[in-house]
Structures are given as structure tokens and as C-alpha cells.
Amino acid sequence: MAAGQRPITLAALQEPATAAAWKKIPSWYLVATEDRNIPPAAERWMARRARARTVAVRAPHAVSMSDPGPVTDLILRASRAVRPGR
């Protein structure tokens, strides 16, 4: 995965956000407890700030590659929660 990843551009870091969607819609957050790119404490802080429903998984930063099951479960749970009548 690293071989195909491009460096971030300066423009991507300078573009202002116009609105934070997590302020208006329900959010879910998967904390990768073995993440060495984003500290899990920072992930938990971001999840709390967004008032997100949180799931913790003992996995590295690329959890969707190393352990896709919990990622899929979280996505399915979130999709059912936002559809009325389910």
C-alpha cells in the first residue's frame, strides 16, 4: 500500500473546511488501538468531539486491510441506523 501512496500536497492542507458534517448527522468511529500513525487517544478524542458511536479494534492504522470484519460490521450497523424502519 505504501508503494502506491502519493505524498500529500500543500493545497490539500490549506483548503478550508466549509462545514463539519459530524455536527449535524450521526457519526460512527472505529478506533484502531494499535495505530502508530494516529494515536488511539487522539482517535478517541475525535470520536467524542463528534459524539460518535465508537468501536475499538485491536488493529493497526490500516484496519480495513488487516481486519476488515469489524470495519464491515460498523458500516452495516451505521447504515441500518440511518434508514428509518430498520
pLDDT digits (tens, 9 = 90+) for 26-38: 899 999 999 999 9
Q: What is the pLDDT of residue 59?
A: 95
Q: What is the pLDDT of residue 85?
A: 54
The predicted model scores a pTM of 0.75
Residues of the chain short of pLDDT 50, as ranges, are 86
Contact call for residues 35 and 58 (beta carbons, < 8 A): no
Contact call for residues 50 and 78 (beta carbons, < 8 A): no
